Structure formats: C-alpha cells, structure tokens
Structure 1
Amino acid sequence: MVTRLLVVADTHLPTRAKVLPEQVWSAAEAVDVVVHAGDWMAAGLLDELEQRARRVIGVWGNNDGDDLRARLPEVARFEVERVRFGVVHETGPSRGREERCDELYPDLDVLVFGHSHIPWDTTTASGLRLLNPGSPTDRRRQPHCTYLTLTVDGGAVTQSTLHRLPPRTAGVRKR
C-alpha cells in the first residue's frame, strides 16, 4: 500500500500570510496524511485542515497560544506502513542536531520538525531521518517558501520532494 503525506510547518496564519497557498490546499486534499510541525498561530487553520484532509497530525509551536496547546501535543508519534514518525516543533540549534535527536528519539525512523523555516533533510548516524519542510508562508532568509511531500511504500520512505512556491504578493504581510 502506498501512503502519501504532506508536511508543513510555520504557517503563521494570519500574521505572516492571510491564507495558506492554494497549491498547499490542493496537496492537503490529495494526500492521505497532513503533518504540521507547529507555529500555526490560529486554530482556524487546524479546523479547516481537519475538515478538508483525510488525517491531520500536528503539534504546537513556540508561537502557538493556549487554544492550540489545549488541542495538540508538544510531540506527536504515529506509524505509517511500519515507518515510525515523530513530529516536534523545535530541535534546537543546527549544530549537534543529529546527535541530540538520536538521543531524544531512539524509537523513531523519521522526525519532522519546524521552527527555523529552513528546509532540512539529513540522516543521523543511527539512521533517523530528520525533515524540516521550511514554511509555505514565510521564507525568512530562504529563497522560496516551501513544503514537503513524502511517499511511504513497503515500510520505507520512497520519495521526498521539496516543493517551492512561487513568490506571493497578495496576502503577505511585511516584517
């Protein structure tokens, strides 16, 4: 069985953008699981994802308020076709991340995280895959806003694609 996942983080709605890009909504409706690694900023996005997506796995981030923290865990764990996933917003500084995550998450195959808005895809010495999708709404110092799609087949992640979104002018708030 093939399972498709959409991975997003740091949507910051409505502070960094008024809406989620349509390309991301299309992906959310097409996949089997939507994973959000925190910093939603408003529960309305969680509500809408839960209505439009088949399954939503999410965690709260450092910018999320009590309403989201009451509904979401700090760390989520789930399994897709024997692949053990974890989701957390922050993993700390990039220096030492692999070693730190190996120690904190020895029970996982894939750890999805956010916070930095910087896409990340590495594998630790123990084989833990670390994935950060960047942000679909706030590129910060990155050249593009981004999100990830994953395909899990036969007990392994068989495809990981980082999608670049076109520059947005409407609905984006300047810092």
Structure 2
Amino acid sequence: MKIVVTSDTHNQNLPQKLISECESADLIIHAGDWSSMEVYRTLSSCAKVVGVHGNVDDNEIKEYLAPRDIIQIEGYKIGIVHGHGSKQMTEKRALEAFEGEGMDIIIFGHSHIPMMRYVNKVMLMNPGSPTDKRRMPYYSYGILHIDKTLRAEIVFFTG
C-alpha cells in the first residue's frame, strides 16, 4: 500500500509533482492547513483522502474534518494532527495529542519543516509543505509504503 502524506498546502495550486504522486496512491493523508475545500476535492480525485483541519482552515473545512484523527492500516495505528497550539514545540504537541494511545506513527504539520524520526518506538513524520517551503531549501511531501513492513520517505523537490 502506498500512502502519500502532505500538509500545509495553503492554496489550491498543488504542484504537478504532488498530483502525479497522488494519482498512484492508495491513500492520501493531509495533516491540515488546506486553506480551501478545493484542495480536498482535487486530492480526492486522485485517491481516498483522510485528514484533519489546521489553524488557518476555514469553517467549511473545520465542519468537515476533525482536529485529530486515528486510522488503522495493515495493523499500524496512525495518528494525524496538525500540531498547532501554544507552548512547546510542534513535535511535542503532536506527541501529546496521542499520549497513551499506542500509536505506531504520528503525522503532523504546522511548522513546514520536514522531518522523520522515532521517539520511543513511535515514528514521527512531518511531510513539510509542497507549496510553502518558507526557509527550507525545498518543497516536500512524504510517502509511507506499508506491506509486510513499513517504509517511509520524504520527497524533496524544487517546484
């Protein structure tokens, strides 16, 4: 199973590189800050989409999507949250959002800083942003490959 992971799209103009990747995906996970339901509709035309709302999303998105979600795929428990809030770093807020719930993977966004690492046997993934790299040198998104094992990667591109 191929899962494309994205966040912080912030507009309707998704890059063709992301769209092409999504067209071959079994599932798309979006960790918030869509900015419009048009982004949801565009991604949904490629594959099934699950996600959460972020801090800049409008009421239409907030009524349709929860602030956090938990899904199970091939025996892996995946938590999805945007990660915004006050106090602490985004990564710490994402971990606390699922504390004690036995996650295998926590996907979050907000910072636009791509990262992937393990904390206490929980994979943390922030895919960065495919549309707003801020001070990062590249745009990015993530891919999870789940079959008998879990493989994950962050894809970097110039635009």
Q: Please confirm whether the aligned pair reaches a TM-score higher than 0.5, indicating the same fold.
A: yes
Cα 1:95–1:11, aligned 2, differ >3 Å: closer, same or farther? closer
Q: 2:102 — aligned with what? A: 107
Kindly indicate whether residue 144 of structure 2 is the aligned counterpart of residue 165 of structure 1.
no
CA separation in 1, counterparts of 2:135 and 2:62?
28
In the TM superposition, residue 61 of structure 1 has moved relative to its aligned partner by: 0.2
Quote how far apart the aligned CAs of 1:103 are: 6.2
The answer to whether the 8 Å contact 2:83/2:108 transfers is: yes
The one-letter code sitting in structure 1 at the alignment partner of 2:6 is: V
Q: Secondary structure at the match of 2:60?
A: helix
Q: Deviations over 1:30-83 (max 9, x none)?
A: 011100000000111101222221x11110000001000011111111111000
Residue in structure 1 matched with residue 142 of structure 2 by the alignment: 148
**CA separation in 2, counterparts of 1:96 and 1:37?**
13
Provide the secondary structure at the position in 2 that maps to 1:28. Answer: helix
Q: Which has the larger radius of gyration?
A: 1
How far, CA to CA, are the matches of 1:90 and 1:137 in structure 2?
A: 18
User: In structure 1, what is the equivalent of residue 10 of structure 2?
Assistant: 12
The code of the aligned residue for 2:119 comes to T
Aligned to 2:123: 129
The number of residue pairs the alignment matches comes to: 157
Q: Is contact 1:109-1:129 (8 Å) kept? A: yes
**Equivalent runs, 1:14-163 vs 2, <5 Å:** 14=12, 19-53=13-47, 55-90=48-83, 93-94=88-89, 97=92, 100-101=95-96, 104=99, 106-125=101-120, 127-154=121-148, 156-157=149-150, 159-163=151-155
Closer, same or farther in 2 for the Cα pair 1:56/1:103, shift >3 Å?
A: closer
Letter in 2 for 1:39: D
Shift of 1:106: 2.8
Q: Structure 1 pair 57/96, CA: closer, same or farther in 2 (3 Å)?
A: closer
Per-residue CA distance 1:102-160 (angstroms, 9 max, x = gap) = 862532110000000001112112x1111000000011111111011110112x41x21
Deviates more, 1:93-102 or 1:132-141: 93-102
Gaps of 5+ in 1: 169-175
Identity level (%): 32
C-alpha RMSD of the superposition: 2.1
The change in CA–CA distance for 1:52 and 1:64 in structure 2 (over 3 A counts) is same
How far apart are the structure 2 equivalents of 1:83 and 1:74? 20
Unpaired runs of 5+ residues, structure 2, are none
Dislocated runs of 4+, deviation >3 Å: 91-96, 98-103
